[in-house]
A and B are shown apart, each in its own frame.
Chain A
């Protein structure tokens, strides 16, 4: 109980700022006579959004699934690939520089192409999410698996242990913290990837929703859509952070934060 009170007391400046921000927003609309079709009041967003909840929830599920499937797929492909690259000198000289240059290519720019190839369904969105998530995960995985200290490497060699044992008992746990850096970065960007892909070509999902309601001069519903996108992003990031706390409790960053 004490801890919770402490946290609230600590957070009050932020909460006060948050509340004042919304109060300012709410009352500026009347003070400055801003029309509702430009900028809605926060209270309007809540009431009108609540009225459209079934659709919002459905679309949240759609965007959420695209994001989650794409994210998991990206991790499942990227981590083994990162492993392979960090252990194979040949791959490191061929694929790795290729990935580093590809990282600079804006993957979202591929969305119109994919949609024209693959249509309005789930697949092109999932592919975009995979592309967005793949690079941070693979690059961090490569770094993670290549970073074992000289001392630990020598220690393992002096035990005569086989490569598999050394991998599971030493290399893999040692690499986890850095891998999670990639996981978290990918989680931050995954939802954005899905939403933008939906802007470009979709018939459902939050990106589609925001586009439609904005076209219908309903910025209040657009904000509601944005709110749910934010929740999705936070949820994914929160899940990954939770996983980090479970799998890497010993790491200094997890302990500090």
Chain B
């Protein structure tokens, strides 16, 4: 079930007193079920912090997050989550890593055998199911990590700059794979990135965050056709969105 997420008045500071760092300053955002929302902002703006708060993995200092009207108190388990440093464990094969997600959730692996096959196929890792992470390139590892995050068919996905460490070509390729996976099932996605182009390509809406302390001052609806192929990316409308956001960043003194 793709969740509708409501973020209400979230503020977060790290530390106490005069040494405290205000990471987030009053975030309000409503995300509809099935939306692909990007949190776009410069380094240190608090986007990862916000994502962790949404996931229930970090306590907020003020405000609350609602998942389908239910307040987030502890770590949400009805999500799939992926980080820049992937959560593949080195002692298991690619398949073993995907199965780890199922095992930890108490799900029967046999029920998911076909799903695992299909997922590996969709990210073009069919022949690498029995390989260990150290035998894979960075891009392949992130693809495997995608499968690990998606195998239990979560209704909501949270990504924290999953493509941050990859080269440009691999990023393009995985972005395409990710978009296909999203279009097929339409989970609710919160995607943290610092790449304007990536945000515009993948999202239904882009939330532009200010430098620290992070606030969402601009929310831009991206009205472009799906799937967002190379032709769409080359279109003037795409460039217009990118320029619009670049202007916002220039306004923050960033570009």
Q: State the A residues within 8 Å of B (CB).
A: 149, 151-152, 154-161, 165-166, 169-170, 173-174, 248, 250-252, 255
One of B83, B85, B100, B105 near A160 (C-beta < 8 A): B105
Q: Shortest distance in angstroms between B26's beta carbon and chain A's nearest beta carbon? A: 25
User: A169 near B134 (CB under 8 angstroms)?
Assistant: no
Besides A154-B81, A158-B77, A170-B89, 8 more A-B contacts (Cβ < 8 Å) are: A155-B81, A158-B76, A160-B105, A161-B106, A173-B91, A174-B89, A250-B134, A255-B134
Assembly CA distance A159 to B104 (angstroms)? 6
- Chain B's interface size range is 20 to 34
User: B89 near A173 (CB under 8 angstroms)?
Assistant: yes
Q: State the B residues within 8 Å of A (CB).
A: 52, 55, 57, 75-77, 79, 81, 83, 85-87, 89-91, 100-101, 103-106, 132, 134
**Secondary structure call for the B interface:** loop
Q: Closest B-chain residue to A152, C-beta based?
A: B87
A-B contact pairs, 19 of them (CB 8 A): A149-B85, A151-B83, A151-B85, A151-B86, A156-B104, A158-B81, A159-B77, A159-B105, A160-B77, A161-B106, A165-B103, A165-B104, A166-B104, A169-B103, A173-B91, A248-B91, A250-B91, A250-B134, A255-B134
The residues of A that contact B104 with a CB separation of less than 8 Å are 156, 159-161, 165-166, 169-170
Assembly CA distance A174 to B92 (angstroms)? 11
User: A157 near B75 (CB under 8 angstroms)?
Assistant: yes
The residues of B that contact A252 with a CB separation of less than 8 Å are 134
The residues of A that contact B79 with a CB separation of less than 8 Å are 158
Q: Shortest distance in angstroms between B131's beta carbon and chain A's nearest beta carbon? A: 11
Q: Shortest distance in angstroms between B109's beta carbon and chain A's nearest beta carbon? A: 13
Assembly CA distance A248 to B52 (angstroms)? 32
The residues of B that contact A149 with a CB separation of less than 8 Å are 85
The residues of A that contact B91 with a CB separation of less than 8 Å are 173-174, 248, 250
The residues of A that contact B86 with a CB separation of less than 8 Å are 151
The residues of B that contact A250 with a CB separation of less than 8 Å are 90-91, 132, 134
Instruction: List the 5 closest A-B pairs by CB distance, nearest first.
Output: A160-B77, A161-B104, A159-B104, A155-B87, A157-B75
Q: Shortest distance in angstroms between A176's beta carbon and chain B's nearest beta carbon? A: 8
One of B57, B90, B100, B132 near A157 (C-beta < 8 A): B57
Assembly CA distance A2 to B55 (angstroms)? 55
Q: Closest A-chain residue to B158, C-beta based?
A: A158
